[in-house]
């Protein structure tokens, strides 16, 4: 039996409605059911007759299973995620639930609609810090041990990647960002630019560029993404108190 229900995991982008792709908008408008964090659902324009299943902090896997159950009943379900749904977000939880769930879930039409992830939105605000090799690390140790995070930070720093840090801090883990910056600072110049981009694409957006040597004292919350430059990352100062441009050249030699 092929179920007629469908499940689409949609990325809403970082906040600005103009950063929602037309494909994501179309999927949202076609859904019979929306599943996701209440604060994300609040960003989706109302469609008459559509049911919303808002969650507080219930687990991602529970949300994924509810969505799959609804799709298996023949509904057209959309699971919403901030940014891109495949980057530290709901898409992986959906496929984990499918792998371990009833065989019927594999017959569903499951799609992922990409979105602008926070790292790309933050980079665009200051120039081109991700212009050369980079990586993304989540500092959240809810789903992996802190020792693993430390090991990845050391490896990324040693390999001279630009490093984007998602989930940099929370009330429960106030020192993790400081510890992470300290690890990278052992291998990089204190002048290395570090971008703090808070609430990118939302009305309360705030962008700062600090030196790695002083970045440890900056307070970042869970709405902030932190991008640490590589040894080649450059800063271009601007007048009038404007945030400097930051870019990482494509080549490691000088081309100008």
The residue ranges that bind ligand SAH (CB under 6 A) are 14-15, 81-84, 87-89, 117-118, 122, 166-168, 197-202, 222-225
- Which residue's C-beta sits nearest to ligand SAH? 83
Minimum distance of ligand SAH from residue 63's CB (angstroms): 14
Minimum distance of ligand SAH from residue 135's CB (angstroms): 14
Q: Which is nearer to ligand SAH, 3 or 55 (CB)?
A: 55
Q: Where are the alpha helices (DSSP H) in the chain?
A: 22-30, 38-41, 60-72, 90-100, 118-126, 146-158, 176-185, 212-215
CB burial string 169-188: b at 16+ within 10 A, e below: beeebeebbbebbebbbeeb
Q: Which is nearer to ligand SAH, 69 or 96 (CB)?
A: 96
Dihedral, CA of residue 112, residue 165, residue 197 and residue 202, to nearest 10: 30
Minimum distance of ligand SAH from residue 225's CB (angstroms): 4
d(CA 47, CA 240): 45
Q: Which is nearer to ligand SAH, 12 or 72 (CB)?
A: 12
d(CA 193, CA 233): 7
Tell me 91's DSSP state: H
Q: Which is nearer to ligand SAH, 108 or 225 (CB)?
A: 225
Q: How far is CA 10 from CA 20, 33, 69, 148, 189, in A?
A: 10, 13, 18, 29, 39
Q: Which is nearer to ligand SAH, 14 or 129 (CB)?
A: 14
Q: Which is nearer to ligand SAH, 15 or 131 (CB)?
A: 15
Encoding tokens for residue 132? 């050369």
Q: Which residues contact 238 (CB under 8 A, 6 or more apart)?
A: 244, 245
Minimum distance of ligand SAH from residue 137's CB (angstroms): 11
Minimum distance of ligand SAH from residue 15's CB (angstroms): 5
Minimum distance of ligand SAH from residue 117's CB (angstroms): 3
């Amino acid at each position: 039996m092929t179920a007629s229900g469908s499940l689409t995991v949609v990325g809403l982008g970082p906040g600005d409605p103009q950063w929602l792709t037309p494909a994501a908008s179309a999927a949202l408008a076609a859904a019979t059911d929306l599943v996701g964090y209440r604060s994300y659902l609040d960003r989706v324009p109302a469609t008459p007759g559509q049911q919303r299943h808002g969650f507080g902090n219930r687990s991602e896997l529970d949300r994924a299973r509810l969505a799959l159950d609804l799709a298996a009943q023949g509904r057209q379900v959309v699971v919403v995620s901030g940014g891109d749904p495949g980057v530290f977000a709901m898409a992986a939880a959906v496929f984990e639930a499918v792998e371990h769930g009833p065989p019927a879930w594999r017959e569903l039409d499951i799609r992922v609609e990409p979105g602008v992830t926070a790292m790309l939105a933050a980079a665009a605000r200051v120039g081109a810090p991700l212009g050369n090799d980079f990586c993304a690390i989540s500092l959240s140790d809810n789903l992996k041990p802190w020792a693993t995070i430390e090991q990845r930070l050391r490896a990324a720093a040693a390999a001279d990647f630009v490093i984007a840090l998602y989930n940099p801090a929370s009330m429960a883990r106030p020192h993790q960002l400081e510890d992470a910056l300290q690890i990278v600072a052992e291998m990089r110049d204190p002048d290395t630019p570090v971008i703090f981009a808070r609430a990118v694409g939302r009305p309360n957006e705030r962008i700062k560029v600090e030196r790695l040597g002083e970045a440890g004292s900056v307070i970042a919350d869970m709405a902030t993404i932190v991008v640490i430059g590589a040894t080649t990352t450059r800063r271009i100062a601007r007048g009038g108190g404007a945030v400097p441009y930051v870019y990482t050249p494509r080549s490691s030699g000088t081309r100008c």
